[in-house]
Amino acid sequence: MSVSTITPWVVGNWKMNPVQADALKLISDFKKLLERAPIAEEKCILGVAPISIALLQTQAELKTAGRAVHTVAQDLSRISATGAYTGEVSAELLADYGIQYVLVGHSERREIFAENAAILNAKIQNALNAGLTVIYCVGESLEQREAGQAEAVVLQQVCDIAAVVAAEQWQNIVIAYEPIWAIGTGKTASPDDAQTMHAQIRQGLKQITGYAETMAILYGGSVKPENAVELAACPDINGALVGGASLNAESFHQIAQAFANTQ
Ligand code: 13P
C-alpha cells in the first residue's frame, strides 16, 4: 500500500477555548458548511477536541452533522480505571462515556504541565488498552531545530512510546508532528521541511512497526486555509492538527477540503 492511499485526518484542537455560546455556534456553523459543501467520509476523517466539560455536548451536537465528526479528548489521566483521584478522567471513563479519541503528548502538556516520557507512556498504554485511538504529538523547539537536533528529538519522541505499544495497537495511533516554533506563531514549517520530517518519522516508524506505511502522520503548527493546499500535496503529510484556525468554521472547513481534495 502506498502512503498516498492513507485517508487524511483533519482535527481541530480547540485548546482552552471557546466559551460555550461560541462553541455551539462554531459547531452549528460547521454543520451548515458540511451540508452546503459535503466532505466525503472516505476522503477525510474529521474530529474536534473541545475542553473536557464540553466533550459530551460537542458529541451530541455533532451527531446531526450528516457525517462522522469525531469528538476527541485533549487529555486523559495517567491513572487507569476508577478510584480516588480527584480531578482525573481515565481512559476507561472516556471510553465508557463514548469518547474514542484522545490527544497525548501535545507540546503544551509536555512543557507547561511537565509531562515526561514516563507519564506520556502511562497515558498511551491506558488509552490503547481501553480501546481509544491516540493522536500522539511530537515536535522540536526552536533551540533544538537551530542546534540541528530536530530530527533526533522527534525520532526519540516517536521511539519513546514503542515500549508500551503492542504490535497490533500501532493501528490505533496517529502521529502529529507539531514543531513548537510553529504553534500559534503564524510561522509554518515549509512544505518541504515538513515533508522531510514526516518522511523521517515514517522511516523511524518502519523500524518499530509493520504499520508504518498505513499510519497517518498529521502536521500541526499555524495550519490555515492559505497553506493547507501546499501541505496537503506532500505525500507523507496525511492531515492536519489545527489550533487557531479550527476556531473559525469556514477556515476549518477549507482546511478539511484541501486534504479531502487530495483523495
Ligand atoms: P495553531 O494551529 O494555533 O498553531 O496550533 C497548533 C496546535 O498546537 C494544534 O494542536
Q: Is the CB of 220 under 6 A from ligand 1?
A: yes
Angle formed by the axes of helices 20-36 and 55-62, nearest 10°: 20
Residue set of the binding site for substrate: 13-15, 184, 222, 243-244
- Nearest-CA residue for ligand 1 atom 9 is 243
100 CA distance to ligand 1 centroid (A)? Answer: 21
Whole-number pLDDT of residue 4: 64
- Nearest atom (ligand 1) to Cα of 183: 4
- Nearest atom (ligand 1) to Cα of 223: 2
Q: Answer whether 91's CB lies under 8 Å from 127's CB.
A: yes
CA angle 215, 219, 225 (to 5 degrees): 125
Whole-number pLDDT of residue 5: 87
Q: Is the CB of 210 under 6 A from ligand 1?
A: no
Q: Is the CB of 189 under 6 A from ligand 1?
A: no
- Cα 219 to Cα 232: distance, rounded to the nearest angstrom: 9
pLDDT in tens, 11-53: 999 999 999 999 999 999 999 999 999 999 999 999 999 999 9
- Nearest atom (ligand 1) to Cα of 185: 4
- Nearest atom (ligand 1) to Cα of 182: 4
Q: Is the CB of 128 under 6 A from ligand 1?
A: no
Buried b (16+ CB within 10 A) or exposed e, 76-111: bbbbbeeeeeeeebbbbbbbeeebbbbbbbbbbbbe
pLDDT in tens, 44-84: 999 999 999 999 999 999 999 999 999 999 999 999 999 99
Whole-number pLDDT of residue 1: 46
Q: Is the CB of 180 under 6 A from ligand 1?
A: no
Q: Which residues of the chain have pLDDT under 50?
A: 1
- Nearest-CA residue for ligand 1 atom 1 is 243
Q: Is residue 38 classed as helix, strand or coil in its secondary structure? A: coil
Whole-number pLDDT of residue 152: 98
244 CA distance to ligand 1 centroid (A)? Answer: 6
Residues annotated as part of the active site: 106, 178
Q: Is the CB of 47 under 6 A from ligand 1?
A: no
Q: For the whole model, what pTM was predicted?
A: 0.98
For residue 4, give the DSSP letter.
G
DSSP letters, 129-147, are HTT-EEEEEE---HHHHHT
220 CA distance to ligand 1 centroid (A)? Answer: 6
- Cα 163 to Cα 140: distance, rounded to the nearest angstrom: 21
What domains can you pick out in the chain, each with its CATH number? 9-260 (3.20.20.70)
C-alpha cell at position 91? 481512559
Q: Is the CB of 221 under 6 A from ligand 1?
A: yes
- Measured CA distances, 147 to 106, 144, 153, 196 (Å): 22, 5, 11, 17
